[in-house]
C-alpha cells in the first residue's frame, strides 16, 4: 500500500504530467470512474470502469505470486487510491492490491495473490449504465468442480451417489418400531437452483432500489434449505454469493452434477409499474409463445453482456448443445414441471399469465435436464418489490416452488440413473 508520502509523490508526478501534456496539446488523461471487487470461491473478479478506451498490459510475477497491470495514460485519482480498501480478508485469491504511478503516464496496479492463479484480463464495451470496463478474472489453476463439492459435502463417494435407497433398505432391516415408510420420491434427485444475475449484473432494479440479484439469491437459498430437508431431494446453487456466472456456465454446472431439474429464479420488470404477478417460462425450439416472452428472453439473455463474459475464451460445450436432438422430450417435461410450479405460485400470488410461456432463454438450454425459469414477481411494481424483500413472503415463495417440484415428481417418478457419472 503506498504511504502518504508516496501518494503525494504520485500527485506531484501526475501534476507534472498534466502540465507537460497540456503543453504538448495532448488529449486529456483517462479517468478511472469506479473500481469493484467480486470475491468468490469460483473466481475473483476485479473491475475497473473508465471513461475512454484504455491501453493496458499485464504479467504474472512469482515470489511472491502477483499479477501486475500497467495502464497507460491514466490519471492516478481518488478512485484508484480507494482500490486497496476494496479487498476483504476472506477473498480466496487476493491478498492485497496496491496501485500507484509507476512512471510518467503509466499507473501500475499490483495484485498480490494468495496462491497461483490463471488470470483472464479483457475489456468490455460500454453497455447500459456502464462505461468502458477492464476486467481481471482470477481463476484457480484447477477449476472448482461442482460435483466434487457436492459429494464432499454429503460425504459420498462418486459411485455411491445413489445410496439413499440403500440407506432406506438398511433402516427397514432393523427391528422396526414403526413400519418403514415408502419415500415420496423413489431415489435421490438433484435440483440445481440458479439465482439469476449477480456481481456486475444487478438484474432489474426496483423503484425502492432493490436489486433483482439479491432477491433471487435470498429466495433460492430458502428453497435450497427446504429441498435439502426433504427426503431423497438435494439441491445445488449455481452461485451462493454476489458474483457473476455466464449463462452457459450455469447450464454446465447443472450437467456436471447430473441434475434432475434446473430452476432459474428471477424477478420481472416492466416500464409500467402496474405490471404484476408471477410467471413461469420454459425453452422454445420454434419461437416465443408471445412477443412479451420474446422480449423477456432477450432481456434475460443480455445478462452476459452486462455481467461481462470474456469472448476470447471458446466454449466447446455451446457448439455441442446445438447438435443435440433430445431437446423436444426435455421441453415436454419442462412444460409439465412448469405447470405444477405455476399452479402452486397461483395460490400465493396473482399470476401474470395463466399458462407456462415459452421463449429462447439461454439458461434453459440443457438438452437433457427439464428446466424452468421463474419470474417470482415484478420488482418494478412497488407493492411486489416490498413483498420480494419480505422474509416471510420469500419463504412462502420458496415453499410454493418446493410444492410444485414435489407434485411434478409425484406425477413423473424419476427413472433410475446410470451408475456411471457423466464426465462432460
Ligand atoms: Zn432476471
- Residue 345 CA to ligand 1 centre (angstroms): 18
Predicted confidence (pLDDT) at residue 177 exceeds the cutoff of 90:
no
The reply to whether CATH 2.60.40.3500 applies to domain 4-140 is yes
pLDDT at 143: 87
pLDDT at 409: 97
- Residue 201 CA to ligand 1 centre (angstroms): 10
pLDDT at 321: 52
Nearest to 303 by CA among 238, 381, 221, 219: 238
Band (148; pLDDT cuts 50, 70, 90): confident
Predicted confidence (pLDDT) at residue 157 exceeds the cutoff of 70:
no
- Render pLDDT for 251-294 as a digit per residue (tens, 0 to 9): 999 999 999 999 999 999 999 999 999 999 999 988 899 999 99
- Residue 376 CA to ligand 1 centre (angstroms): 10
pLDDT at 258: 94
- Residue 300 CA to ligand 1 centre (angstroms): 5
Mean pLDDT computed over 414-422: 60
- Residue 118 CA to ligand 1 centre (angstroms): 29
Mean pLDDT computed over 389-403: 98
Mean pLDDT computed over 240-246: 96
Band (16; pLDDT cuts 50, 70, 90): very low
pLDDT at 175: 53
**Mean pLDDT across the chain:** 86
- Render pLDDT for 296-315 as a digit per residue (tens, 0 to 9): 999 999 999 999 988 777 66
pLDDT at 181: 67
Question: Which residues, in sequence order, are bridge partners of residue 101?
Answer: 107
pLDDT at 147: 87
- Residue 355 CA to ligand 1 centre (angstroms): 19
pLDDT at 52: 94
pLDDT at 325: 64
Band (25; pLDDT cuts 50, 70, 90): very low
Domain-wise residue ranges, the chain: 4-140, 146-411
pLDDT at 168: 47
How is residue 273 written as a grid cell? 409499474
Alpha-carbon gap, residue 59 to 102, rounded angstroms: 15
- Residue 373 CA to ligand 1 centre (angstroms): 9
Domain 146-411: homologous superfamily in CATH: Zn-dependent exopeptidases (3.40.630.40)
- Residue 26 CA to ligand 1 centre (angstroms): 43
Spatial contact of 126 and 132, defined as CB atoms under 8 Å apart: yes
Amino acid at each position: 500500500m503506498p504511504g502518504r508520502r508516496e501518494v503525494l509523490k504520485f500527485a506531484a508526478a501526475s501534476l507534472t504530467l498534466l502540465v507537460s501534456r497540456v503543453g504538448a496539446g495532448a488529449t486529456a488523461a483517462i479517468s478511472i470512474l469506479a473500481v469493484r471487487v467480486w470475491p468468490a470461491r469460483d473466481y475473483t473478479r476485479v473491475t475497473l470502469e473508465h471513461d475512454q478506451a484504455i491501453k493496458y498490459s499485464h504479467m504474472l510475477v512469482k515470489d511472491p505470486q502477483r499479477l501486475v497491470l500497467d495502464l497507460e495514460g491514466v490519471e492516478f485519482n481518488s478512485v484508484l487510491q480507494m482500490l486497496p480498501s476494496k479487498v476483504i480478508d476472506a477473498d480466496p485469491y487476493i491478498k492485497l492490491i496496491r496501485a500507484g504511478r509507476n512512471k510518467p503516464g503509466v499507473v501500475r496496479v499490483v495484485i498480490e495473490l494468495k496462491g497461483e492463479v490463471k488470470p483472464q484480463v479483457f475489456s468490455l464495451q460500454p453497455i447500459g449504465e456502464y462505461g468502458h470496463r477492464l476486467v481481471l478474472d482470477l481463476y484457480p489453476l484447477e477449476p472448482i468442480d461442482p460435483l466434487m463439492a457436492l459429494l464432499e459435502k454429503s460425504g459420498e463417494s462418486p459411485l455411491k451417489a445413489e445410496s439413499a435407497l440403500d440407506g432406506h433398505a438398511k433402516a427397514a432391516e432393523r427391528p422396526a418400531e414403526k413400519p418403514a415408510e415408502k419415500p415420496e420420491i423413489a431415489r435421490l434427485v438433484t435440483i440445481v437452483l440458479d439465482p439469476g444475475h449477480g456481481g456486475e449484473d444487478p438484474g432489474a432494479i426496483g423503484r425502492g432500489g432493490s436489486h433483482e440479484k439479491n432477491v433471487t439469491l435470498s429466495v433460492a437459498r430458502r428453497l435450497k434449505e427446504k429441498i435439502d430437508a426433504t427426503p431423497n431431494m438435494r439441491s445445488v446453487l449455481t452461485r451462493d454469493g454476489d458474483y457473476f456466472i455466464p449463462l452457459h456456465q450455469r447450464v454446465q454446472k447443472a450437467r456436471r452434477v447430473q441434475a434432475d431439474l434446473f430452476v432459474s429464479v428471477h424477478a420481472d420488470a416492466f416500464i409500467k409499474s402496474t405490471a404484476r404477478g408471477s410467471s413461469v417460462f420454459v425453452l422454445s425450439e420454434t419461437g416465443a409463445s408471445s412477443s412479451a416472452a420474446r422480449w423477456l428472453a432477450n432481456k434475460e439473455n443480455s445478462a452476459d453482456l452486462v455481467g461481462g463474459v470474456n469472448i476470447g475464451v471458446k466454449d466447446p460445450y455451446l457448439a455441442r448443445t446445438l447438435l443435440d436432438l433430445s431437446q423436444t422430450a426435455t421441453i415436454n417435461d419442462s412444460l409439465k414441471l412448469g405447470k405444477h410450479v405455476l399452479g402452486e405460485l397461483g395460490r400465493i400470488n396473482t399470476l401474470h399469465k395463466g399458462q407456462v410461456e415459452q421463449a429462447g432463454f439461454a439458461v434453459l438450454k440443457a438438452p437433457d435436464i427439464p428446466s424452468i425459469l421463474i419470474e417470482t414477481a415484478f420488482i418494478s411494481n412497488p407493492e411486489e418489490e416490498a413483498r420480494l424483500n419480505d422474509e416471510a413472503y420469500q419463504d412462502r415463495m420458496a415453499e410454493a416452488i418446493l410444492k410444485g417440484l414435489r407434485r411434478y415428481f409425484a406425477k413423473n417418478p424419476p427413472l433410475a440413473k446410470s451408475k456411471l457419472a457423466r464426465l462432460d
